A and B are shown apart, each in its own frame.
Chain A
């Protein structure tokens, strides 16, 4: 019926199936293979396969979304993990097998859409097909009688149909009409836009970048490679893509719930007040909030985390400052109990490493241990265990700023040392053991962890997604139908036949045919005396 559809489409007559028999020869096999790939059955199979293939990635942590989870999983199930690793299950969505499925699906899609588009463009220009010889077997078949001359009645019907938005071909005793070409247009737009989404996503991933940076209150960061804590460039990234600008974090405000007892201390708002400066321009003030990223220099700046960064000052035994900076601590719980790692490689007699525990609102548990019971800085304590020895910074291997390798260190203050753990409140100073010098906790500013994203194709993805929806709605809810009106002249007079044909799901067709018959017979003088075989079927 419609040669553009895959041969196993439900509207296609089964005769078309014979073509699927492979003809001999290389080209024959290629053609056979291509027909298989672009058949409805293959598309269906690949779609369902894609759904199944997506499942493992939700059962096992993924490197992309949960790298720590992957590490823990591997530690907990080493045997299974090595098998899963070989099968690329930790990177399911970029794995060879997952990619193969969706690439095949999209090849099938392209192979399906191109001939259909060509065919549809032709159909848009062609006249509706000729009126079938027998209308009685078609949908909504009904008849009316008239005393009017056949040609005139047919002309009126053609005009009626035209006004209902049908494309009309008029013959001597019948009219053939079709409407709803938009249904097919919508379907093609939908499928093509899916390809658009895929291509745009791929493009954005290749040319974009993401970078993370922790910024302490009062500090600034520059959008350049050197200033990021971590940076993930796309495959085709070049340094030129980084537009230089600075973002200074003036203050970071948090509002905590204070009335609702079941949610006491739950943060209800985070605001990073920043000053931004584009090269060669004046600075301006802006804010970054959790659901409100800052757009600057072709990037979006997101607020993804926060915590405390105690400002510590170390002085040597002569009182000279050897280290004075804020150190971001990793929050461990909802009350922002945090762990800080401080490394002082130079300036003191020995290399010094410190593990600090920060309690924003300090309480003493029954066991004597400290804890934090509220996330704001109501009663902060920073307790410090001090190590000396080799920090391992000089061996060329990159080291993790948030971890202290104590293999070649000796604890000099803390639970395992003679001197007790040092506890400081803001403004306090303590002596380091062994006359190394002193340490002062000057203040406890907050830090914001900012994610900077550059995705050049984001807008395109959105546009194609919009087209997906528009195409979908058009193709699902606009009925495509053919209608025929035919005048049959006999010795008894003129009988008008009406019938329709649905192309795709069309629940309203029979009613539409009946409605057309009623409107039409209201316009053409009827013949009450004549009683022909008037039937209708639903």
Chain B
């Protein structure tokens, strides 16, 4: 039974990776196509700018034109994008299946070692990405997210794979379920926030005339809008991360007899929390809104990735659950 679940789980994960690859290619193609389209749009842009500027009055023609541009692109040729999104959904369903099967094989939640954790983390990151589309069209981050999931899954399958083993007593706790799940969910929001911040920075570079070849940026929302969306996502991530920190402390209090002991993993969770608290402050500090806070968002997410990879694998600490 276990054997069978494991086999199908691996199969599902590999299939998901294959389809993510296709989705990634299509997302990239879409960005390239936007580049071509943006030149065409630029012409109609000028016309609509004249048309809207009068009507908008004091409202500021700039924003209005930009909305138009988006609408024009989205309406004109969304084929690649739609296909890419559909493929991502299919790959994600397979990915979920693979993860659930892994959990069934082990008879517990599928996040007790690096392999399983990567599996679940990427499921959640892609899941957050898909869910966020109902709130706001962020499909232009598709290449970033599917690319990230692919690299992570590849690494996990090749380097982190371990057989199903029972949970050691220290991990047998409801807090494993809560703490790790919430941490991963938070990571999903941070990932999107970082992606938006990268776009924001690129966009600012392009406005400054420094990225002449990245014409697809013209089809994205204004850098201010990107920044606001990033902020709203990261703030959700921050609340989840705060909860992770507290839940982790409660668990550590039960399992290790102290709720905080500056174990390496605790240190990095704290560092990440502090960076994002800094990010939120930066957004409210004159002179720091804009590209500086965007950098903090990116640094924060890099710290999350670092915490999960380097710290788990190479740093010594009580959180030795990588299973490797």
> Which residues of A are interface residues toward B (Cβ below 8 A)?
8-12, 14, 40-41, 43-44, 47-48, 50-51, 54-55, 57-59, 61-62, 64-66, 69, 92-93, 136-137, 201, 210, 257, 260, 262-263, 266-270, 289-293, 300, 302, 304, 451, 453, 458, 461-462, 465, 468-469, 472-473, 476, 505, 507, 533, 535, 537-538
Contact = CB atoms under 8 A, between A and B. Distances in A.
A342 B84 CA distance: 70
Contacts of B261: 64-65
Interface in B33-89: 55-60, 63, 67
B285 interface: yes
A507 B281 contact: no
B274 to A, nearest CB: 4
A61 B317 CA distance: 9
Contacts of B249: 465
Given A58-B267, A469-B243, A137 B285 contact: no
Interface residues of B, number: 67
A250 B311 CA distance: 40
Interface stretch (B13-21, B169-177, B192-200, B208-216): B169-177
Interface in B277-324: 277-278, 281-289, 296, 311, 315-318
B263 interface: yes
B287 A8 contact: yes
A216 to B, nearest CB: 20
B250 A462 contact: yes
B277 A262 contact: no
B254 to A, nearest CB: 5
A451 to B, nearest CB: 5
A266 B316 contact: no
Given A12-B286, A505-B228, A47 B278 contact: yes
Contacts of A40: 281, 284-286
A207 B286 CA distance: 43
Given A40-B281, A291-B173, A458-B253, A476 B166 contact: no
Nearest to B264: A58
A302 B256 CA distance: 7
A268 B254 contact: no
Given A57-B262, A61-B316, A51 B278 contact: yes
Q: Which of B57, B60, B286, B288 has the most CB of A within 10 A?
A: B286
A442 B232 CA distance: 68
A472 B166 contact: no
Chain B binding surface SS class: helix
B269 to A, nearest CB: 10
B270 interface: yes
User: 5 closest A-B pairs (Cβ-Cβ)?
Assistant: A537-B59, A302-B257, A263-B165, A290-B169, A262-B163
A473 B238 CA distance: 10
Contacts of B284: 9-11, 40
Contacts of B163: 262-263
7 contacts: A58-B315, A65-B263, A201-B260, A260-B166, A268-B169, A293-B257, A302-B256
A51 B268 CA distance: 9
A51 B318 CA distance: 21
Nearest to B169: A290
A290 B255 contact: yes
Contacts of B311: 58
Contacts of B283: 10
A507 B242 contact: no
Contact of A262 (B165, B170, B267): B165
B105 to A, nearest CB: 11
A136 B271 contact: no
Interface of B: 2, 55-60, 63, 67, 163-170, 172-173, 175, 228, 231-232, 235, 238-239, 242-243, 246, 249-251, 253-264, 267-268, 270-271, 274-275, 277-278, 281-289, 296, 311, 315-318
Given A48-B278, A267-B169, A469-B246, 12 more contacts: A10-B285, A54-B267, A55-B267, A58-B267, A58-B315, A65-B263, A201-B260, A262-B164, A268-B168, A269-B169, A290-B255, A535-B57
B63 A538 contact: yes
Contacts of A58: 264, 267-268, 271, 311, 315
A92 B267 CA distance: 11
Contact of B262 (A64, A293, A473): A64
Given A66-B316, A465-B246, A10 B264 contact: no
A9 B286 contact: yes
B168 A267 contact: yes
A268 B166 contact: yes
A519 B260 CA distance: 52
A503 to B, nearest CB: 11
A465 B248 CA distance: 12
Contacts of B167: 268
A476 B235 contact: yes
B96 to A, nearest CB: 25
Contact of A469 (B59, B239, B257): B239
Contacts of A538: 59, 63, 67
Nearest to B245: A465
A269 B166 CA distance: 10
Nearest to B282: A44
B188 to A, nearest CB: 17
Contacts of B238: 472, 476
Contacts of A201: 260
A472 B261 CA distance: 24
Contacts of A65: 261-263, 317-318
B190 to A, nearest CB: 15
B168 A266 contact: yes
Contacts of A64: 261-262
A505 B318 CA distance: 39
Contacts of B60: 537
Contacts of A257: 165-166
Contacts of A458: 253, 259
Given A9-B286, A472-B242, A289 B169 contact: yes
A538 B208 CA distance: 25
A93 B262 contact: yes
Given A267-B168, A465-B249, A10 B289 contact: yes
Contacts of B264: 58
B257 A266 contact: no
A50 B274 contact: yes
A333 B280 CA distance: 46
A533 B169 CA distance: 71
A40 B281 CA distance: 7
A44 B285 contact: yes
Contacts of A535: 55-57, 59
